[in-house]
Amino acid sequence: MIPIIYHPGYNITVFGLERLHPFDGLKYRRIHDALIGDGLRRPGDFIRPETVRADDLARVHTPEYLQSLKSSKVLADILNVSLLARLPAAFIDWRVLRPMRLATGGTILACRLALEHGLAINLAGGYHHAADAWGDGFCVYADTPIAAASLHAEGRVERVLVVDLDAHQGNGTAAAIRPWPWASIVDVYEDDLFPAFKQPEDFPVPIPAGLEGPEYLRIVEEAVPRVLDQVDPDLVIYNAGSDPYFADPLTRLRLKREDLARRDLLVATMARERSIPLAMVLSGGYARDSWRVHADGIEAILGRFDQIEPTRSAEGPAPAR
């Protein structure tokens, strides 16, 4: 079966203060429960990650930035909840940052397992507004660059491609990987959304507000295979934000649930047709039923690819194709 990484500690609760933010801190549990309820996994089938190690955080984040996370004001600014500035930083670390460190460990594990199984899914992660020296947009740790840097340092991959289909530009990921000639990003994002300043990217695909499913999917079908063939990566990390959904309060794209499920299956299929391992992370999504949107996409992938056989060794990069 496709490895699915989940930990109950992913879920973020702050004694009710989480309701001040549009992000659903319990969506990871809801997705986990949906996969069980729909008969696709049993409780014991999920793989639990370990918390990201300090040395892995240091592969990307500056010492100054990591030290700044001990400030309640800094954390309140990153998490976009001003009331948090009045709380002890240790409390925020316990209730919010610890789940994010677990999720970052989950992204690293998903990448490792993708190299072994062809596909792997982390039911969290995708903090694509965090860079080496700053965080923003509820993103503290740059989990995708951290995972890529860890595997590259170990010699397991030579080229990594991030496919970012969250509705917002992955500005943090783009900034973090820019110095690395071996890492690239293709990013399809709504052009008029946060962040106001867009980071330079390898393959930016800005799109206008109001696009519906067929036109959006046509853009994805044109852009992603072209970049896959040009970069020829050893690993794809897919940032599968659910916020292009028509009911999302922070975006203005018009995709239905079935459009997003088709999108996720398309990306997985395009990678697997090329024998490229793919690790999926979830990223943003702010509608009340964004958990169901994610679950639909994951279930579409499981329906096509469960029982997949390994195609690449975890001991090193694949041979040239």
Mean model confidence pLDDT for the chain: 93
**Residues contacting residue 68 through CB under 8 Å, at least 6 positions apart:** 74
CA 236 to chain centre: 11
* 318 — pLDDT class (breaks 50, 70, 90): very low
Residue-wise pLDDT for 5-32, tens only, equals 999 999 988 645 556 556 788 999 999 9
In the chain, where the domains are located:
4-305
**61 classed as catalytic:** no
- Choosing from 7, 128, 129, 294, the catalytic residue is 129
Distance CA 258, CA 181 (A): 36
* 83 — pLDDT class (breaks 50, 70, 90): confident
For residues 188-208, give the mean pLDDT. Answer: 97
Least confident of 1-5, 72-76, 316-320: 316-320
Entry pTM: 0.93
Residue-wise pLDDT for 216-231, tens only, equals 999 999 999 999 999 9
Which CATH fold topology does 4-305 show? Answer: Arginase; Chain A (3.40.800)
Closest CA to 184 of 230, 150, 116, 221: 230
